[in-house]
Amino acid sequence: MLLPPFEYYRPSNLEQALALLREMGDQAHPLAGGTDLLVNLKLKKLAPKALLDLGGLEELKGSRADGGQVSLGALNSASRLASGGPHVPRLLAMGAGALGSPQVRNRATLGGNLVTARPAADLCLPLLALGARAVLTGPQGSREVSLDGYFQGPGYTVKEPGEILTRVLLEAPKPGQGGGYQKLGLRQALEIALVNVAAHLELEPDGKTIAMARVALGAVAPVPMLAPSAAQVLQGAKADEKSFTAAAQAAAADAKPIDDHRGSAAYRRDMARTLTLRALRQALAQAQGGKEVGA
């Protein structure tokens, strides 16, 4: 399948990129790894007049930590995130390692995954559970948006057409924190999740009480979503099977799945419960510095 014709621009800095976007309006689409955009072009779902390659923008690259905050550039690839590194939380690395295949991971970017905003996106769930914020830069400057509120529907976010997602901000990882990621698909690889769950736990200094928890659920609503009832059950509770079982049930109740050709709503809800329990066990093992408990 051939790509339709388009004009190609490769701005060398953010200012130039924003000026081009302002000039061309919705006729120009930013291009990062191309794993979503080029497929949509080939399938003729989109026919933009121009593509704006973001690959030359230093402002969107690298990762750094400053004053207890980590800043990850939107152009970080899933491969780079999956291989970890000093500033990449392990939970995000787990999600990145579950995305697509090695070839797709080498091209797919953090920014592209957040802008595409699929309900089961493998980078979105860990970032939601970690309490991340997206930095959106447009003609009026930059604004920070919490991911809890960023997703509006499948493929829709609060990002305005003239804005570029430049970076993702996170609290720097601390001792006593741990994450768990579980993905269920119809196949083992190259699969968009049927249900996926990311859990983030922070323990009190006693190593047994939960100071804070977030559970994010995928493919059980039109957007990647947090499970507020699960977080409520866990906050201040003992980190044990009883609390995790109650939280998993609460997460399943928070889920809003619908029947579709890949699975029934009842099955997805049940899997949300099972995967939440497994993700919490994994997160606890990581938080306590022990061996991770698998399925």
Q: Do 131 and 172 contact (CB within 8 A), yes or no?
A: no
30 binds ligand FAD (CB under 6 A): yes
Q: How far is the CB of 116 from ligand FAD (least distance, A)?
A: 4
Show the DSSP H helices in the chain as ranges.
Answer: 14-24, 37-42, 78-82, 90-97, 102-107, 110-116, 124-129, 228-234, 241-254, 265-287
Q: Do 72 and 63 contact (CB within 8 A), yes or no?
A: yes
54 binds ligand FAD (CB under 6 A): yes
276 binds ligand FAD (CB under 6 A): no
Residue closer to ligand FAD by CB (options 100, 257) is 100
Residue 175 CA to its chain's centroid (Å): 22
165 binds ligand FAD (CB under 6 A): yes
Name which position in 6, 10, 24, 34 contacts ligand FAD (CB under 6 A): 34
CB atoms within 10 A of CB 293: 14
CA atoms of 41 and 36, how far apart (whole Å): 9
Q: Using the rule CB under 6 A, give the single segment among 4-12, 24-32, 198-206, 221-229 that binds ligand FAD.
A: 24-32
Name which position in 122, 199, 200, 201 contacts ligand FAD (CB under 6 A): 122
Name which position in 11, 17, 29, 129 contacts ligand FAD (CB under 6 A): 29
CA atoms of 50 and 26, how far apart (whole Å): 9
Q: How far is the CB of 78 from ligand FAD (least distance, A)?
A: 6
Q: How far is the CB of 236 from ligand FAD (least distance, A)?
A: 33
Q: Do 20 and 52 contact (CB within 8 A), yes or no?
A: yes
Q: SS3 of 265, please?
A: helix
Residue closer to ligand FAD by CB (options 39, 266) is 39
CA atoms of 263 and 274, how far apart (whole Å): 15
Q: Do 234 and 201 contact (CB within 8 A), yes or no?
A: yes
39 binds ligand FAD (CB under 6 A): yes
The amino acid present at 226, given as its one-letter code, is L
Q: How far is the CB of 153 from ligand FAD (least distance, A)?
A: 15
Q: Which residue is nearest to ligand FAD (CB)?
A: 112
Q: Using the rule CB under 6 A, give the single segment among 86-94, 99-107, 237-245, 250-258 that binds ligand FAD.
A: 99-107
24 binds ligand FAD (CB under 6 A): no
Segment holding 135, helix H or strand E: strand 133-138
Residue closer to ligand FAD by CB (options 141, 205) is 141
Name which position in 65, 104, 212, 265 contacts ligand FAD (CB under 6 A): 104
Q: How far is the CB of 20 from ligand FAD (least distance, A)?
A: 13
- For residue 122, which of 35, 182, 38, 45 has the smallest C-alpha distance? 182
CA atoms of 53 and 32, how far apart (whole Å): 6
Quick one: tokens of 185?
């698909």
107 binds ligand FAD (CB under 6 A): yes
**Binding residues for ligand FAD, per CB under 6 A?**
29-37, 39, 54, 74, 99-100, 104, 107-109, 111-113, 115-116, 118, 121-122, 164-165, 190-192
